[in-house]
């Protein structure tokens, strides 16, 4: 945007600000959208819109009109990301048992945050090798992968938030404090014969 489209620093900041507003709007409206359309269809729609929002950036040329289109597309793109991301994180929190929340969130954060430096290096190398627009086109095509994964999963038909996993009922205090029952040693056949003959049982 700064080099190929000769966008000014002010316009660049405004475009990025619109994207941040879109992310906030998507996160705030996600619960209402999930209740109305179902979390599965809502996330599927958001992921289907996201690749299309790359088109203004891929087709743009220098000029104020394209700057406005890129800003609107970025607003919509991050609104979809915010709505889908908020909903999928809510589903994960619901279906994860209470003792595994921290581990689940740690794994998710490690996967997403840990992939960013690697993705940045690969994107930079690809942009240097084949050019900026072809690299952006490849990135736009990669945005289809989450859509395909969700479309092939049962979550696509999820019409309401799932129920949390059943929590086992705690034992009553008497059961928790009662002494353990010791097993009675098995009596051998020789011991039973000795008792039948009047002898003592060892």
- Half-sphere exposure of residue 62, counting CA atoms within 13 Å on the CB side? 7
- Cα 5 from Cα 76, distance rounded (Å): 21
Q: Which two tokens stand for residue 24?
A: 């906030």
Residue 180 lies in a domain: no
Residue 113 lies in a domain: no
Residue 51 lies in a domain: yes
Spatial contact of 70 and 15, defined as CB atoms under 8 Å apart: yes
Residue 68 lies in a domain: yes
Encode pLDDT of 21-63 as tens digits: 999 999 999 999 999 999 999 999 999 999 999 999 999 999 9
Count structural domains, the chain: 1
Domain range spanning residue 63? 9-97+129-157
Encode pLDDT of 132-190 as tens digits: 999 999 999 999 999 999 999 998 889 988 888 776 656 566 555 555 555 555 555 55
195: part of which helix (H) or strand (E)?
helix 189-196
Report in angstroms the alpha-carbon separations of 13 from 1, 2, 28, 148: 11, 11, 23, 33
Residue 118 pLDDT exceeds 80: yes
Residue 77 lies in a domain: yes
Residue 35 lies in a domain: yes
- Which pTM value belongs to this model? 0.76
The confidence band for 202, taking pLDDT boundaries of 50, 70 and 90, is very low
Q: Give the mean pLDDT of 108-136.
A: 92
Position 112 scores a pLDDT of: 86
Residue 182 lies in a domain: no
Residue 185 lies in a domain: no
Position 164 scores a pLDDT of: 81
Q: Which residue has the higher pLDDT, 15 or 189?
A: 15
């Amino acid at each position: 945007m700064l080099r190929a489209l000769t966008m000014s620093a002010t316009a660049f900041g405004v475009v990025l600000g619109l994207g941040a507003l879109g992310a906030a709007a998507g996160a705030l409206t996600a619960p209402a959208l999930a209740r109305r359309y179902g979390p599965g269809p809502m996330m599927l729609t958001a992921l289907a819109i996201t690749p299309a929002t790359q088109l203004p950036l891929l087709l743009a040329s220098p000029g104020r009109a394209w700057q406005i289109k890129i800003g609107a597309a970025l607003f919509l793109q991050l609104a979809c990301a915010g709505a889908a991301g908020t909903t999928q994180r809510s589903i994960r929190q619901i279906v994860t048992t209470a003792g595994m929340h921290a581990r689940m969130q740690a794994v998710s954060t490690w996967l997403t945050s840990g992939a960013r430096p690697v993705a940045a290096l690969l994107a930079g190398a690809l942009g240097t090798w084949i050019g900026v627009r072809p690299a952006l086109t490849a990135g736009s095509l990669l945005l289809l992968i989450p859509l395909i994964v969700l479309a092939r999963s049962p979550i696509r038909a999820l019409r309401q938030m799932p129920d949390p996993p059943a929590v086992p009922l705690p034992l009553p205090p008497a059961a928790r404090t009662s002494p353990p029952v010791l097993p009675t040693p098995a009596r051998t056949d020789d011991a039973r014969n000795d008792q039948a003959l009047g002898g003592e049982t060892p």
